[in-house]
């Protein structure tokens, strides 16, 4: 009950972020499929509102790779690791003039994950103390720590351990929203460190007991033997691994051979390194158990060894090169293509960068309104548009309705330099359509975008029929004089338009539809509808009108107020508890004084 109350007090001040995020997740890639064709495998245990299981389990840790907890470079560190000029790879490349640059970002990782920025390393001494703790730590603590550690390891295996992880994916609440099973090793890092701390505590508390050395000798030797023995086996027989990565096929055989040799060297070097730290920690405990080392010396020496072990590995991936002064820091540098596009002083158009990894880069979004770019939680419908009409065979009708005025292309004949191509058919920010094409499902709606004229027709799901005024005809006579234009872009959440049309028509806006958007015609709210699978549309009556689109997230505002009140309430509890504690201590002192 106390834990439940504490959990409630912890969560309430954060509901301003938690509840709106949960609400948005329903509409994102983590909210499940909109299209029947994208629904998870029909053989799945049950329908779920989350990611596709293959996508969610991409970053699954390998089973043997788990031993990076003990030997950090067991699987080649990272996908872009500096192996230096003493490497076999540099020797193989030094005559090409590319060696120095290549070895600075060498693809040394050869594990199961698509790529990685570094291994999960708990620490050689922590691993050793964890095993020792299974002998020395009390029953009340060690079993839950062991179970939590093992469960975290099993969960990190993802697709490599389907008997457990498939069940969790479909049944554990919120689990299907995440896509990195290897993150669960954060739990193992924590539980192993706790066990290591409790192990040292148990040693210090028990060493005064009679026959302590006789009881302690076997656990010490076994723990050192298991962890140190694994390191020794890797040193002696690590060459049995093939050290081949999936991406190696793009390199010539002689370079692959050099990379494999360096990967082997990295494994051997780190296995020897871990063996040294385990031996040093075991020696400290041996001297202490033999009463040749004081408690304070043991704690300081063990702390220093653990610090050196972890710090040295951390510095491989986060070091002085990772930091620059504010003056030197440049998030993105404009390319010649960017500079050419920025000469267009009208900011209200979009750019599609096909010269880079279109949906996994952020540089384009830094300079322009981008059709591409990366988000780990894109709107599900927008991802569907990418999958069906952009990423494969490009559908120019869809790009036109997204107001894609410029393309950045790679000129293969000119060493891959970027070039700019203007699209004269981009439809602009908004336009009137002459006809509505009704469909009965999202699948029919997205399919209808393959062949349609977005400047004349709007494709709309029948689910929106109640939001369309009865007097709006499905087909209207074309009116060349009818127009609607953007007049003010105050912010991404507040846009103004002016319309002039002789008959009621549907206006389509080149803006992605989301439920928090409100529309106002001459100050009066009017219903927005979704057309063309992702865009906003509004029925505009005949005449001249001022139109405002405004993002008003009522749920966010309500939750923000609740979060504020909860924060004040928790603050009063903290202050009240502090006052009560002060009064209690003062009364205790007064009572002791009277007794004296």
Query: So what's the pLDDT on residue 515?
Result: 93
pLDDT tens column, 96-136: 878 888 999 999 999 989 999 999 999 999 999 999 999 99
> Both tokens of residue 338?
């960017």
CA nearest neighbour of 387 among 55, 11, 45, 15 = 55
Task: Report pLDDT for 47.
Answer: 46
Q: Which two three-digit tokens encode residue 203?
A: 């040693």
Output the average pLDDT for the chain: 91
Q: What is the distance between the terminal CA atoms of the chain, rounded to a whole angstrom?
A: 40
Distant-in-sequence, close-in-space partners of 133: CB < 8 Å, separation ≥ 6: 142, 145, 195, 196, 198, 199, 202
Distances 318 to 71, 171, 312, 313, 335 between C-alpha atoms, Å: 18, 37, 10, 9, 28
Choose among 548, 537, 432: nearest CA to 495.
548
Q: What integer pLDDT is reported at residue 45 of this predicted model?
A: 47
Query: What pLDDT does residue 19 have?
Result: 92
Task: Tell whether the model's pLDDT for residue 46 goes beyond 50.
Answer: no
In the numeric block, the tokens 């989350």 are attached to 50
Q: Does the pLDDT of residue 414 top 80, yes or no? A: no
Taking 80 as the threshold, does the pLDDT of residue 595 lie above it? Answer: no
Task: State yes or no: pLDDT of 144 exceeds 50.
Answer: yes
211 pLDDT band, cuts 50/70/90, is confident
Ranges assigned E (strand) in 223-300:
none
Spell out the residues 6+ positions from residue 370 whose beta carbon is closer than 8 angstroms to its own: 350, 351, 352, 353, 364
Q: Quick one: pLDDT at residue 415?
A: 65
Tokens coding 75: 């699987």
Radius of gyration of the chain measured on its C-alpha atoms: 31
Which residues does residue 460 pair with via DSSP β-bridges, in sequence order?
Answer: 438
Measuring CA to CA, how many Å separate 588 from each of 577, 578, 581, 584, 593?
16, 15, 11, 6, 9
- Please report where in the chains the tokens 């839950």 appear, as a residue: 144
Bridge-based pairing state of the strands 535-540 and 457-461: unpaired
Instruction: Please report how many Cα atoms fall inside a 13 Å half-sphere around the Cα of residue 449, on the Cβ side.
Output: 28
CA distance 406 to 360: 19
405 within 8 A of 422, measured Cβ to Cβ: yes
Q: Give the pLDDT mean for 501-526.
A: 94
- Rounded Cα gap, residues 391 and 351, in angstroms: 15
Q: Which long-range contacts (CB under 8 A, 24 or more apart) does 304-309 make?
A: 305/125, 305/277, 305/280, 305/281, 306/123, 306/125, 306/126, 309/123, 309/124, 309/125, 309/277
**pLDDT for 42 beyond 50:** no
Q: Please report which helix (H) or strand (E) contains residue 364, including its range.
A: helix 363-367
Q: In residues, how long is the chain?
A: 596
Please tell me the predicted confidence (pLDDT) of residue 588.
84
pLDDT band at 364 (very low <50, low <70, confident <90, very high): very high
Lowest mean pLDDT across 70-84, 281-295, 449-463, 469-483: 469-483
Structure tokens given for 301: 């020496």
Report how far residue 284's alpha carbon sits from residue 265's, in angstroms, rounded to the nearest whole number: 29
Strand partners, 551: 517
Write the pLDDT tens digit of every residue in 151-205. Answer: 999 999 999 999 999 999 999 988 888 889 999 999 999 999 999 999 999 999 9
Q: How confident is the model at residue 589 (pLDDT cuts 50, 70, 90)?
A: confident
What are the two backbone dihedrals, phi and then psi, of residue 331, each rounded to the nearest 5 degrees?
-60, -45
Provide the pLDDT for residue 469: 87
Give the H/E segment covering residue 485.
Answer: strand 483-491
Q: Which two tokens stand for residue 312?
A: 């040295």
Kindly give, in sequence order, each residue whose CB lies less than 8 Å from that of residue 559, ignoring residues fewer than 6 positions away: 15, 16, 17, 18, 19, 20
SS3 484: strand
pLDDT at 43 over 60: no
At residue 321, the pLDDT reads 81
Q: Are 384 and 34 a contacting pair, CB within 8 Å?
A: yes
Bridge partners, residue 506, by sequence? 433, 539
Distance of alpha carbon 165 from alpha carbon 179, whole angstroms: 12
Mean pLDDT value of segment 31-39: 79
Contact 309, 124 (CB under 8 A): yes
Question: What pLDDT sits at residue 41?
Answer: 46
CB 534 within 8 A of CB 385: yes
Buried b (16+ CB within 10 A) or exposed e, 541-570: beeebebbbbeebeebeebbeebeebeeee
> Binning pLDDT at 50, 70 and 90, where does residue 284 land?
very high
Q: What's the pLDDT score for residue 75?
A: 96
Do the beta carbons of residue 290 and residue 117 sit within 8 Å? no
CA dihedral of residues 174, 180, 181, 185 (deg, nearest 10): -110
377-412 pLDDT, tens digit per residue, is 889 999 999 999 998 889 999 999 999 999 999 876
For position 328, what pLDDT does the model report? 75
pLDDT band, residue 413 (cuts 50/70/90): low
Environment class of 575 (CB within 10 Å of its CB; exposed 0-12, middle 13-18, buried 19+): exposed
Q: Is 88 helix (H, G, I), strand (E, B) or coil?
A: helix
Give the residue-averaged pLDDT of 320-343: 85
Residue 233 has pLDDT above 60, yes or no: yes
Three-state SS string over 311-379 comes to HHHHHHHCCHHHCCCCCCCCCCCCCHHHHHHCCCCCCCCEEEECCCCCCCCCHHHHHCEECCCCCCCCE
Phi/psi region, residue 85 (left: phi>0; alpha: psi -120 to 50; beta: rest), is: alpha
Question: Which pLDDT score, from 0 to 100, does residue 346 have?
Answer: 86
CA distance 201 to 227: 20
- What span, in angstroms and rounded, lies between the C-alpha atoms of 231 and 276? 9
Q: 342: closest CA among 406, 278, 296? A: 406
- Percentage of residues in the chain having pLDDT higher than 70: 97
- Residue 315 binned pLDDT confidence (cut-offs 50, 70, 90): very high
Name the packing angle between helices 253-289 and 295-317 (round to 10°): 170
41-45, 66-70, 576-580: the lowest-pLDDT one? 41-45
């Amino acid at each position: 009950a106390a834990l439940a109350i504490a959990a409630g007090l912890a969560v309430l001040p954060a509901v301003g972020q938690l509840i709106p995020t949960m609400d948005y997740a329903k509409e994102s890639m983590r909210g499940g499929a909109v299209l029947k064709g994208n629904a998870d495998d029909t053989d799945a245990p049950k329908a779920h509102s989350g990611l596709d299981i293959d996508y969610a389990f991409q970053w699954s840790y390998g089973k043997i790779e788990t031993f990076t907890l003990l030997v950090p470079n067991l699987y080649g560190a990272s996908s872009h690791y500096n192996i230096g000029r003493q490497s076999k790879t540099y020797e193989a490349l030094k005559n090409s003039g590319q060696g120095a640059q290549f070895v600075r970002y060498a693809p040394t990782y050869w594990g199961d994950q698509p790529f990685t920025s570094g291994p999960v390393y708990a620490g050689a001494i922590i691993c050793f103390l964890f095993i020792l703790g299974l002998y020395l730590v009390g029953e009340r603590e060690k079993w839950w720590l062991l179970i939590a550690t093992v469960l975290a390891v099993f969960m990190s295996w993802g697709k490599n351990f389907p008997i457990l992880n498939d069940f969790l994916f479909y049944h554990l609440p919120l689990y299907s929203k995440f896509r990195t099973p290897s993150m669960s090793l954060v739990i193992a890092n924590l539980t192993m460190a706790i066990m290591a701390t409790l192990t040292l505590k148990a040693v210090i508390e028990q060493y005064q007991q009679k026959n302590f050395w006789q009881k302690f000798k076997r656990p010490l030797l076994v723990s050192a033997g298991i962890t140190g023995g694994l390191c020794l086996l890797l040193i002696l027989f690590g060459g049995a691994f093939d050290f081949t990565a999936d991406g190696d096929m793009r390199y010539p055989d002689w370079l692959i051979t050099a990379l494999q040799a360096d990967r082997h060297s990295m494994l051997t070097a780190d296995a020897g390194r871990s063996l040294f730290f385990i031996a040093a920690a075991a020696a400290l405990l041996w001297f202490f158990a033999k009463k040749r080392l004081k408690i304070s010396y043991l704690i300081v020496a063990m702390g220093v060894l653990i610090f050196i072990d972890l710090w040295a590995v951390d510095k491989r991936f986060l070091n002085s090169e990772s930091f620059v002064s504010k003056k030197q820091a440049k998030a993105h540098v404009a390319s010649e293509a960017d500079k050419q596009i920025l000469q267009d002083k009208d900011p209200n158009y979009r750019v599609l960068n096909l010269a880079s990894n279109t949906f996994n880069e952020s540089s384009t979004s830094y300079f322009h309104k981008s059709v591409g770019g990366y988000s780990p939680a894109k709107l599900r419908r927008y991802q569907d548009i990418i999958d069906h009409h952009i990423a494969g065979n490009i559908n120019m009708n869809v790009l036109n309705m997204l107001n894609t005025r410029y393309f950045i292309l790679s000129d293969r004949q000119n060493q891959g330099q970027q070039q700019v191509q203007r699209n004269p058919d981009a439809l602009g920010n908004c336009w009137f359509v002459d006809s509505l094409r009704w469909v009965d499902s999202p699948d029919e709606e997205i399919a209808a975008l393959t062949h349609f004229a977005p400047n004349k027709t709007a494709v709309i799901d029948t689910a929106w029929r109640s939001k369309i005024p009865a007097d709006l005809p499905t087909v209207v006579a074309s009116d060349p004089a009818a127009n609607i234009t953007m007049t003010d872009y105050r912010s991404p959440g507040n846009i103004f338009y002016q319309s002039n049309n002789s008959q009621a028509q549907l206006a389509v806006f080149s803006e992605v539809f989301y439920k928090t958007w409100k529309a106002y015609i001459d100050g009066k709210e009017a219903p927005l509808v979704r057309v063309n699978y992702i865009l906003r549309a509004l029925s505009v009556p005949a005449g001249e009108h001022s139109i405002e689109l405004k993002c008003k997230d009522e749920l966010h505002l309500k939750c923000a107020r609740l979060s504020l009140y909860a924060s004040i309430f928790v603050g009063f509890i903290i202050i009240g508890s502090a006052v009560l504690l002060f009064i209690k201590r003062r009364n205790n002192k007064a009572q002791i004084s009277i007794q004296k």
